[in-house]
Amino acid sequence: MDSQEPIMKLENVNAGYEKLQTLFDISLEIPRGKITVIVGPNGAGKSTLLKTLFGLTTVYSGKVLFEGKDITHMPPHERAKLGMAFIFQLNNIFANLTVIENLKLAGHDLSKEELEKRIEEVFETFPRLRERMHQKAGTMSGGERQMLAMGIGMIRKPKLFLIDEPTAGLAPKIAKEVLANVKKLNEQGYTVVLVEQNVKAGLEIGHKGVLVVSGRIVFDGPAEQLLARKDLAKLYLGLAV
């Protein structure tokens, strides 16, 4: 498949939670092998947009395409089988299990050799996890937990990572570390869609920037271009178009 072809596409999507519409006429392309960063003020619908990609919302009209295939009405667990991994903002690891148990669980349907190979890859990407291998996941720091959440995702070798506000509630220093890890993930060849509350830090690691305000996309282009816009603050607040 042409690597220039977007991995995922939204065409004129209207979506929301049951009867409450929160997204209006969204059209978006997710480029393969890149980091797409979705930013926007609180309640603008950025997390809803991410959840729409994974089928966790109700789509009233429009089309959701994954590798050219219409998946608008496909349930989440089937999307997972297609190669999408969704990392929840909270409760994205098993706190009572050890790190290695978490990773083994993620690859419970793989052969033993394959699983070991993939766990090794995770440990190479995130060496810290190897150190904490037999520690209970719940006893790790917030940053390490996000690392493990990404590791769990990696075991399944997804074509697309959907990451929902991984830095929420973390100290700035640790948040930076988490974003660096997202970048690392991308350097391993994974395509990432990231929802980030910290506009600057998020856009700095992203290739493509998407700004959502009041349920509509008001900017869609290269991340550095969005970052460089002098009227970003105004845009963000929905004061300029």
Partner 1 sequence: MDWNLFTSTTIYASVLALLSLGITLIYMTTKVFNFAHPRLSLVAAYAAATLMAYYAEATGAQPNLTPKHSFLGSLTVPFSWEFYAIGILVSMVFGVIAALVEYYAILKPLQKRGADYLMLMIATLAYDFLLVATLFIYNTHVDVRKVLARIGVLSTKMSMASYDVTVVTGGGVFISGSFIFSVILIVLLGLSLYILLFKTTLGVKMRASVENPPLAEVLGINVERVYAISWIISGLTAGLAGYLMLMAAGAGNLKPISATSPADEIVVSAFAGSIIGGVNSVFGSIVGGLLIGYIELYIPNWLAIWTGNAELFKYSKVISMLAVAITLLFAPEGLAGLLKGERWKRFFGKKEEEG
Instruction: Tell me which residues touch partner 1 (CB under 8 A).
Output: 76-77, 80-81, 86, 88, 90-97, 101, 104-106, 108-109, 136, 138-139, 142, 152, 156, 169
Q: Determine how many CB atoms are found less than 10 A away from the CB of residue 128.
A: 16
Q: From CA 221, how far away is CA 91, in angstroms rounded? A: 32
DSSP per residue, 70-91: E-TT--HHHHHHHTEEEE-SSS
We find the least distance from the C-beta atom of residue 184 to partner 1, in angstroms, to be 22
We find the least distance from the C-beta atom of residue 134 to partner 1, in angstroms, to be 10
Beta carbon nearer to partner 1, 147 or 223: 147
Name the E strands within 96-232. 160-164, 191-195, 208-213, 216-222
Q: Residue 78 is which amino acid?
A: E
Beta carbon nearer to partner 1, 84 or 223: 84
Only one residue has tokens 């790190």, namely: 99
Instruction: Please state, in angstroms and as integers, the Cα–Cα distance from residue 203 to each residue in 13, 102, 176, 210, following that order.
Output: 24, 30, 12, 9
Q: From CA 107, how far away is CA 45, in angstroms rounded? A: 32
Beta carbon nearer to partner 1, 100 or 227: 100
Beta carbon nearer to partner 1, 132 or 208: 132
Instruction: Please state, in angstroms and as integers, the Cα–Cα distance from residue 100 to each residue in 49, 96, 113, 213, following that order.
Output: 32, 12, 15, 40
CA-CA-CA-CA torsion sign (213, 216, 219, 220): positive
Q: From CA 110, how far away is CA 106, in angstroms rounded? A: 9
We find the least distance from the C-beta atom of residue 159 to partner 1, in angstroms, to be 16
Which helix (H) or strand (E) segment is 132 a member of? none
Beta carbon nearer to partner 1, 4 or 91: 91
Beta carbon nearer to partner 1, 110 or 227: 110
Beta carbon nearer to partner 1, 87 or 201: 87
We find the least distance from the C-beta atom of residue 169 to partner 1, in angstroms, to be 8
